[in-house]
Amino acid sequence: MNYLATHPAEVLSLALAHLELVAIALAIAFAVALPLGIVAAGASRFSPWLIGALAALYTIPSLALLAVLVRWLGLGATPVVVALILYAQFMLVQGVVTGIRGVDPAQIDAARGLGFSERQLMVRVALPQATPVILGGVRIATVATISIATLAGYVGARSLGTLIFNGLTLHQNQMLVAGSVATALLAICADAGLRALTRLSEARLR
Amino acid sequence: MSGATIGFDDVGVRYADADGDALRGVSFDVASGEVVAIVGPSGCGKTTLLRTVNRLVEPTSGAVLIDGVDVRTMDAVALRRRVGYAIQAVGLFAHMTVAENVGIVPSLLGWPRDRIDRRVDDLLERVHLDPKRFRDRRPRKLSGGEAQRVGVARALGGEPGVLLMDEPFGAVDAIVRAALQDEVTRVVRDLGTTTLFVTHDVHEALRIADRICVMNGGRVEQLDAPAAILANPATDFVRRLFEGARA
Ligand SMILES: Nc1ncnc2c1ncn2[C@@H]1O[C@H](COP(=O)(O)OP(=O)(O)O)[C@@H](O)[C@H]1O
Ligand SMILES: [Mg+2]
Report the SS3 class of residue B29. Answer: strand
Partner A, chain B 93-112, Cβ-Cβ below 8 Å? 93-95, 104-105, 108
Mean pLDDT, residues A23-48 taken together:
93
- Distance, in Å, from the CA atom of B7 to the CA atom of B64, rounded to the nearest integer, reads 6
Mean pLDDT, residues B122-135 taken together:
95
Second-level CATH architecture of B6-246: 3-Layer(aba) Sandwich (3.40)
**Would you give the end-to-end CA distance of chain B in angstroms?**
40
Contact B216, B24 (CB under 8 A): no
| Cα of B101 to nearest chain A Cα, Å | 10
Q: Which residues of A touch B166 (CB under 8 A)?
A: none
**Whose CA is closest to A97, among A35, A144, A140, A31?**
A35
List for chain B the helix, strand, coil content (%; round to 5): 40, 25, 35
Q: Are strands B211-216 and B35-39 parallel, antiparallel or unpaired?
A: parallel
Q: Which of A58-62, B34-38, B151-155 has the lowest mean pLDDT?
A: A58-62
Host domain of residue A97? 2-205
Residue B98 has pLDDT above 80, yes or no: yes
Atom of ligand 1 nearest to the CA of B45: 17
Which pLDDT score is estimated for A2?
78
Atom of ligand 1 nearest to the CA of B17: 4
Q: Which of B87, B104, B148 to mutate to test the interface with A (most CBs of A within 10 A)?
A: B104
| Cα of A200 to nearest chain B Cα, Å | 12
Q: What total of structural domains would you count in chain A?
A: 1
Which pLDDT score is estimated for A47?
87
Q: Are strands B162-166 and B83-87 parallel, antiparallel or unpaired?
A: parallel
Residue A170 CA to its chain's centroid (Å): 31
Residue A196 has pLDDT above 80, yes or no: yes
| Percentage with pLDDT > 70 across chain B | 98
Mean pLDDT, residues A96-113 taken together:
96
pLDDT tens digits for range A170-185 = 999 999 999 999 999 9
**Whose CA is closest to A2, among A150, A162, A175, A169?**
A175
Q: Which residues of A touch B164 (CB under 8 A)?
A: 113
Mean pLDDT, residues B139-146 taken together:
92
Q: Where are the domains of chain B?
A: 6-246
Which pLDDT score is estimated for A1?
55
Protein residue with least CA distance to atom 11, ligand 1: B22
Contact B134, B153 (CB under 8 A): no
Which pLDDT score is estimated for B246?
60
Contact A92, A140 (CB under 8 A): no
- Distance, in Å, from the CA atom of B191 to the CA atom of B91, rounded to the nearest integer, reads 24
Enter the pTM of the model. 0.89
- Distance, in Å, from the CA atom of A5 to the CA atom of A15, rounded to the nearest integer, reads 15
Which pLDDT score is estimated for B245?
74
ipTM of this complex: 0.92
Mean pLDDT, residues B145-162 taken together:
95
Question: What is the distance in A from the centroid of ligand 1 to the CA of B49?
Answer: 10
DSSP sequence for A37-92: HHHHHH-TTTHHHHHHHHHHHHHS-HHHHHHHHHHHH-SSHHHHHHHHHHHHHHHH
**Would you give the end-to-end CA distance of chain A in angstroms?**
45
- Distance, in Å, from the CA atom of B80 to the CA atom of B167, rounded to the nearest integer, reads 19
Residue A45 has pLDDT above 90, yes or no: no
Who among A106, A116, A128 is closest to B90 (CB)? A106
Which pLDDT score is estimated for A181?
94
pLDDT tens digits for range B164-221 = 999 988 777 888 888 888 888 999 999 999 999 999 889 989 999 999 999 999 999 9
Which pLDDT score is estimated for A112?
96
Q: What angle (nearest 5°) sits at the alpha carbon of residue B143, between those of residues B54 and B162?
A: 20
Report residue B56's pLDDT band, with 50, 70 and 90 as the boundaries.
Answer: very high
Residue B15 has pLDDT above 80, yes or no: yes
CATH number of the domain enclosing A131 = 1.10.3720.10
